[in-house]
Amino acid sequence: MTRQFAVVFGLAALAVALVLTPALRAADAKELKPVEKWSGSVDDEKLLKDAPESGVITDAKTFEKVWTSWKIGEKMPKIDFNKVIVVFTTTSGSKISAKPVLDDKGNLKFGGLATSDLRPGFRYDMQAVEKEGIKTVNGKEIK
C-alpha cells in the first residue's frame, strides 16, 4: 500500500509541475508592488454600480465616487493619476486577496483569489500601482 501511495503521490506531483511550468515560463511577468492598498467590505451589493466594470480607475472623479460610496476611509488619499492607476477586484465571498502582475507585453493581470463562502454585500481589494509600462489591464486597453 505504501508503494502505491508513493506512485500516486509522484504522479500527482508530476502533473502539478507540468501544469505550473508554462505559467512559470511566463516569468517575464513581474509582480508590482502597490503604491497604496485598501481592502474591506461593503454591506450593500448595489453599490458595485458606482465603480467601473473594468476594475480600473484612471481619474480622481471616479476614485472619489467609489471612495465615498464604498466608505473606504475617512480621508481620501491624493492620487496622481498621471503616474498611477487604481485597480480593484471584488467578491461576494468572505475574503479576497489580489496581486498585480505585469507581463512583458505590458498587460497588467489583476485578479483576486477569493473564498467561496458567499456573504451578503461584497468584499474588495483595491490597489494603486505605477502605470509606467502598463498598456492593458486584463487584456483590455486602459481608457
Tally of domains in the chain: 1
Residue 3, domain member (yes or no): no
Strand stretches in 18-135, DSSP E: 30-31, 36-42, 56-57, 84-93, 96-102, 107-114, 118-130
- The pLDDT tens digits for 104-131 are 999 999 988 898 898 899 999 999 999 9
**What is the rounded average pLDDT of the residues 68-82?**
96
What is the predicted pLDDT for the residue at 27? Answer: 55
What is the predicted pLDDT for the residue at 112? Answer: 85
Residue 17, domain member (yes or no): no
What is the predicted pLDDT for the residue at 102? Answer: 97
Q: Confirm if 56 and 139 have CB atoms less than 8 A apart.
A: no
Residue 40, domain member (yes or no): yes
Q: What are the angstrom distances between the C-alpha of 109 and each of 8, 54, 140?
A: 34, 12, 10
Residues in the chain: 143
Residue 96, domain member (yes or no): yes
Residue 26, domain member (yes or no): no
By residue range, what is the domain housing residue 100? 31-141
Q: Confirm if 84 and 131 have CB atoms less than 8 A apart.
A: yes
Residue 43, domain member (yes or no): yes
Residue 19, domain member (yes or no): no
What is the predicted pLDDT for the residue at 111? Answer: 87
Which ranges of the chain would DSSP assign to H, the alpha helix?
Answer: 2-25, 60-70
Residue 71, domain member (yes or no): yes
Q: Confirm if 92 and 3 have CB atoms less than 8 A apart.
A: no
**Cα 122 to Cα 115: distance, rounded to the nearest angstrom:** 12
Share of the chain above pLDDT 90, in %: 73
User: What is the phi/psi pair of residue 44, to 5°?
Assistant: -95, 105
**Cα 44 to Cα 19: distance, rounded to the nearest angstrom:** 39
